[in-house]
Amino acid sequence: MSLSPSETRRHRRRTEARRAILDATEALMLESGGSDFSIRKLAERCEYTPPTIYHYFGDKEGVVAALLEERFTRLLESVQQVETGPDPVDNLRRMVDAFAEFGQDNPTFYRLVVAGRSDGADRTPPAAEAARALLEKPWNDLGQAGRLYCGDPRAAGQSLWALLHGMTTLRASRPEHDWADDLYKVAVDSMLRGLIKPVNGRSL
Task: Spell out the domains of the chain, with CATH numbers in brackets.
Answer: 1-58 (1.10.10.60), 68-204 (1.10.357.10)
Percent of the chain with pLDDT over 70: 99
Q: Is 3's pLDDT higher than 90?
A: no
Q: Is 95's pLDDT higher than 80?
A: yes
Q: Is 16's pLDDT higher than 90?
A: yes
AA letter at 140: N
Q: CA 55 to CA 57: how far, in whole Å?
A: 6
Q: CA 13 to CA 4: how far, in whole Å?
A: 14
- pTM of the model as a whole: 0.84
Q: Calculate mean pLDDT across residues 120-126.
A: 87
Pick 39 or 110 by higher pLDDT.
39
Q: Give the contacts of 41 (CB within 8 A, at least 6 positions apart).
A: 28
Given pLDDT bands bounded at 50, 70 and 90, which one contains residue 1? low
Q: Calculate mean pLDDT across residues 192-198.
A: 95
CA triple 125-165-97, angle to 5 deg: 95
